[in-house]
A and B are shown apart, each in its own frame.
Chain A
Amino acid sequence: MSLPNTLLDWLDSRTGWRTGRKNLLEEPIQAGVGWWFVTGSILLMLLTVQFVTGVVLAMFYVPAPDHAYDSIRFIMERLAFGHVLRGLHFFGASFIVVAAVVHMLRVVALGSYKNPREVTWITGVVLLLVILGFALTGYLLPWDQKAYWATTVTINIARSGPLGEQVAGLLQGGTSLGSLTLLRWYAAHVFLLPSALIGFVIAHLFLMRRHGISGALKPVEGAAKPFYPYHALKDTIAGALVFSLLLTFAVVFRAPLDPIADPSDAAYVPRPEWYFLSLFQLLKYFPGPLEPLATMVIPALVVGLLVLLPFLDRRPDRHFLKRPLVTAGFGVIGLAIIVLTYLGYKDTPQHADPSVWGPLPLAGHTFVQDQRCLTCHTAGGTASELEDIRISRDPEWIISHARDPEVIAPGSREAPRGGMSEGQARSVFSYMRKLRAGVSPPQVSEQTRVVSLIIGRYCSNCHMIDGEGGAAAPDLSRVGASRDAKWLRNWITNPEEVDPFANMPAFGDTLTPDEMTALVEYLSARK
């Protein structure tokens, strides 16, 4: 007898693990339990992948607004397979939602929730809610624009219900969405929800074993076979297919990461992840005082019906055609969710692609080459090189600092001559944000460069363009849709000639003819 076997025998005599394994693996599965019954195992496989990738992500992630975003970028860019790791976790979340719904629909279609499996069903509904809780809390963690604004919406929804302020306070943890919010959502995501998930999965599996698999609608002739390896083979093949698809997603698509959260950026339009899109769309049909209907009443009704389903549908018939009410109910709710999701998707505005540079960051890129900045921000200088700085200050700080560094860091250097205009400082800030998002400046035509400098230096003092700039004058992002080149040229040259009450200064003397032509061409093309 070899040493390992002796050890295992000894362990068996003390723990009985062989009997335990036999009990686990050799559950007799009656004939007729076919491919429909692999959905639960797929979920279990996906949850395991999520657990493992989650633990590894937690080794690098920092749940603090100052560092969360940088730590995610570190994971994506510096770790071997880091982007696959986050991809598996990110897309895995969507896969789990789909798999959970498919599993539930299978249980409904085959009437598996009926007597005596009511409690198994209820633990399943709880698991679905836990999974949605994971999705909701995990969303905030990257601390990018999408995370921040989607969570703002979530908390405001909570505020609209009964005891709204209390619930919102509990979710938010502090007076505003910030470090305390991030910490408690993180704690929920990595401690609270996993504990609930593990507990309910064990309960769900225990009950499944206790009552056996519901099996085919009509008894099928044939001997029962042990779960392992016969049904396990089906589970494993299905699981491998799903895993391959997930891996393909994780390798081929980059898990998205928006620019870092910016509470001052009012131009950002938040959109939830696709599995909450139907709820989001529903909200639009219940304006004002009716809102709680969409945020609370209808979801609560759906969950309530789900929990009560086995008690409402008590006849033993399992075929879905013999249960027209249940089938129709699920059909209607399912169709409603699909239609709402589609409408919500169609209504989603195009997100600004972080790799596309608007005029302001382009201008900022040129402005920081300025000798004023480079006196200190240079290799071996008194301040770090600009390319090495990751902004952690708020926008006001950066803009004030760029306008006059002496104001912020007294004694650090001689006050620069001139200082920057508000628009220039905004451009610098905008450029720093791009740097932080890890995108390098694109090659642009000379004309675009010239125009971006004009916009950065002059226009953005008052005008907004692509969500950046001042708010004192109209947004220029789509100015070409309402004004043609001729009008724009006249207006910019001397506004008072077009409208005697115009507030805008004349730029006819400031800009060279070439600059004017370039600017007018650029603006009139923005439609």
Chain B
Amino acid sequence: MGSTQSQTEAPARRQFFARIVKSIQSVIAGVVGVVAGGSILSPGFARREESWFPVGLELGTLIDNAPTPATLRVAREDGYNQIVDRRVVLLVKTGENEVTALNPTCTHLGCRVSWDSEAKELRCPCHGGTYDHLGIVKSGPPPAPLPRLATKIDGNKIFIQI
């Protein structure tokens, strides 16, 4: 057979050729791999951009130290799609020109808390957790205070960073 003949003839040459073939093919496979891998992996690691969203409520309509729910529309990307979420935040006027925004999702199991104006506390309807007007846990199972969102005031308008 020719194959055995050439093997005894020039094993070094044969090895050298084999090495070139393997290297070139690895480079081609590598390029295709990077292109394919980059495309497959990049969406999973894309950072969500945070931006400021205006709230429909004006600063003047808020009552001191009483959380008021406000709805805002947040557009976000879902792959090639664009989805508009309605998000609810609690706005608390804490000073002359100061607003605290709370995420109303209970830190226990994710129900939405609401303001009990008589008891002056935020109450979770699911397992009875309560928070004060700044979202600090007063009683019940919640393990952490309600998360706060950054706010910005421009004249009478309120912006929230999401």
Q: Please report A residues at the B interface, Cβ cutoff 8 Å.
A: 26, 28, 30, 45, 49, 52-53, 55-56, 59-60, 62, 67, 70-71, 73-75, 78-82, 84-85, 88, 223-226, 228-230, 232-233, 236-237, 239-240, 243, 247, 379-381, 384-385, 388, 390
Contact = CB atoms under 8 A, between A and B. Distances in A.
Nearest to A29: B2
Contacts of A60: 39, 79-80
Nearest to A385: B75
Contacts of B54: 379-380
Contacts of A55: 36
6 closest residue pairs by CB, A with B? A224-B2, A80-B42, A74-B80, A80-B38, A229-B17, A81-B38
Contact of A380 (B2, B17, B43, B55): B55
Contact of A28 (B1, B20, B35): B1
A52 B33 CA distance: 9
B53 A380 contact: yes
B34 A81 contact: yes
Nearest to A378: B54
B3 A226 contact: yes
B38 A223 contact: no
Nearest to A225: B6
Interface string B107-138: 00000000000000000000000000000000
8 contacts: A49-B32, A56-B39, A79-B43, A81-B35, A225-B3, A229-B20, A230-B6, A236-B25
Given A52-B36, A70-B80, A390-B82, 19 more contacts: A26-B3, A28-B2, A49-B32, A53-B32, A53-B35, A59-B39, A60-B79, A73-B80, A74-B79, A74-B80, A78-B42, A78-B43, A223-B2, A229-B18, A232-B21, A236-B25, A380-B53, A380-B73, A388-B75
A487 B123 CA distance: 77
A30 B36 CA distance: 38
A88 B28 CA distance: 13
B150 to A, nearest CB: 16
A239 B5 CA distance: 28
A84 B75 contact: no
A209 B14 CA distance: 22
A388 B40 contact: no
B42 A45 contact: no
A74 B56 CA distance: 31
B147 to A, nearest CB: 21
B41 interface: yes
Nearest to B72: A380
Contacts of B72: 380
A409 to B, nearest CB: 15
A44 to B, nearest CB: 12
Nearest to B31: A247
Contacts of B41: 80
A205 B80 CA distance: 40
B12 interface: no
A85 B6 contact: no
The residue among B31, B32, B41, B82 with the most chain A CB atoms within 10 A of its own CB is B32
A81 B37 CA distance: 9
B80 A62 contact: yes
Interface string B10-23: 00001001101100
Contact of B39 (A75, A228, A390): A75
A426 B91 CA distance: 42
A239 B39 CA distance: 24
A384 B75 contact: yes
A28 B3 contact: yes
Contacts of B36: 52-53, 55-56, 85
A70 B40 CA distance: 17
A24 to B, nearest CB: 13
A149 B71 CA distance: 45
Given A26-B3, A390-B82, A229 B43 contact: no
B31 to A, nearest CB: 6
Contacts of B73: 380-381, 384
Contacts of B61: none
B24 A237 contact: yes
Contacts of A225: 2-3, 6
A223 B6 contact: yes
Contact of B20 (A224, A236, A385): A236
A118 to B, nearest CB: 27
A95 to B, nearest CB: 14
B17 A233 contact: yes
B29 to A, nearest CB: 9
Interface string B68-99: 00001101000111101000000000000000
Nearest to B157: A380
B125 to A, nearest CB: 27
Nearest to A380: B54
B85 to A, nearest CB: 11
Nearest to A389: B82
Contacts of A237: 24
A45 B31 CA distance: 13
Given A78-B43, A80-B38, A243 B80 contact: no
B45 to A, nearest CB: 9
B18 A388 contact: no
Nearest to A74: B80
A59 B2 CA distance: 46
A239 B17 contact: no
Nearest to A53: B36
A224 B6 CA distance: 8
A28 B80 CA distance: 52
B39 A80 contact: yes
Contact of B24 (A70, A85, A240): A240
A160 B151 CA distance: 66
